[in-house]
Amino acid sequence: MPESHGRGGMVCVVDDDETIRELLSAVFDADGFLVESYEDGGAFLAQPPSTPPACVLLDVLMPGKSGLEVLKELNARGASSPVIMISGSADIPMAVDAIKHGALDFIEKPFDPETIVRRVREALSAADARTEARARHAAQDVTIVGADTLTCREKEVLTLIAGGQSNKEAGRQLGISPRTIEVHRARIMEKLGAKNAADLVRIVLSYDEE
């Protein structure tokens, strides 16, 4: 398990591709992060890092435990570190499953390593804003039918989309990709019974006016 000694927090890279592990380790190390890499999910779960990582980069398809299985196990253990899933054969159902189980973002291969570093930094810098948003929503009396089934993240996305922000703008504010916003929006529309984006906004506005 190769290590590097940065000062920007720890990033765990879990991927069966040695080239990917070495590349991401080098890039994050150069950007000031401490990096620990694992060749499969079983090794990561059996020997977790000594300190909670700032972020976990988790490949979806690996020998043994899949990335989604590892993600579910982390949830069962009560792990709070944000997880970004990476995959070379991603599809919408797979992304929905990952996000449903708490993944922060879903990035497809091939990717630019610098882009992943930027995504991680954006996600970490948005942590305080997300915490405040959760507290704000928890304090509100939600009256929209079906809103009680929304996750905290979906409520954040709903607030931004209903406020007129694009997927790109909302993703930038929350530190996640536009595609991840699309997945959240699709789930929100399904839960609230909205036929399209305009219908979703009308639902929100109708309750705001009450």
- Of 125, 158, 193, which marks where a domain is finished? 125
pLDDT of residue 206: 59
Per-residue pLDDT of the chain (210 residues; tens, 9 = 90+): 444 444 568 899 999 999 999 999 999 999 999 999 999 999 999 987 777 888 899 999 898 999 999 999 998 888 878 889 998 776 677 777 888 788 888 888 888 888 888 888 877 776 545 555 555 544 444 455 566 788 888 888 888 877 767 788 888 889 899 889 989 988 888 888 877 666 676 666 655 444
- Of 76, 98, 125, which marks where a domain is finished? 125
pLDDT of residue 129: 55
Query: Both 35 and 94 in a single domain?
Result: yes
Query: Both 93 and 9 in a single domain?
Result: yes
pLDDT of residue 5: 46
Give the relative orientation of helices 92-100 and 67-76 as an angle to the nearest 10 degrees.
Answer: 10
Separation of alpha carbons 130 and 152, rounded Å: 9
pLDDT of residue 14: 95
Query: Both 20 and 99 in a single domain?
Result: yes
Query: Both 64 and 164 in a single domain?
Result: no
Query: Both 60 and 81 in a single domain?
Result: yes
Query: Both 116 and 169 in a single domain?
Result: no
Query: Both 119 and 151 in a single domain?
Result: no
Query: Both 20 and 117 in a single domain?
Result: yes
Domain encompassing residue 145: 127-208
pLDDT of residue 209: 45
pLDDT of residue 7: 58
Query: Both 143 and 111 in a single domain?
Result: no
Query: Both 115 and 183 in a single domain?
Result: no
Question: Which CATH number do you get for residue 83?
Answer: 3.40.50.2300
Contact criterion met (CB below 8 Å) for 109 and 61: no
- Of 125, 150, 182, which marks where a domain is finished? 125
Query: Both 83 and 178 in a single domain?
Result: no
pLDDT of residue 47: 84
pLDDT of residue 100: 79
pLDDT of residue 89: 73
Query: Both 16 and 117 in a single domain?
Result: yes
User: Does an H or E element contain 14, and which?
Assistant: strand 10-14
- Report how many domains make up the chain: 2
Q: Is 140 exposed, middle or buried (0-12, 13-18, 19+ CB in 10 A)?
A: exposed
Question: Which CATH number do you get for residue 151?
Answer: 1.10.10.10
User: How many Cβ atoms from other residues are within 10 Å of residue 194's Cβ?
Assistant: 18
Mention every residue, 6+ apart, whose C-beta is less than 8 A from residue 27.
113, 114, 116, 117
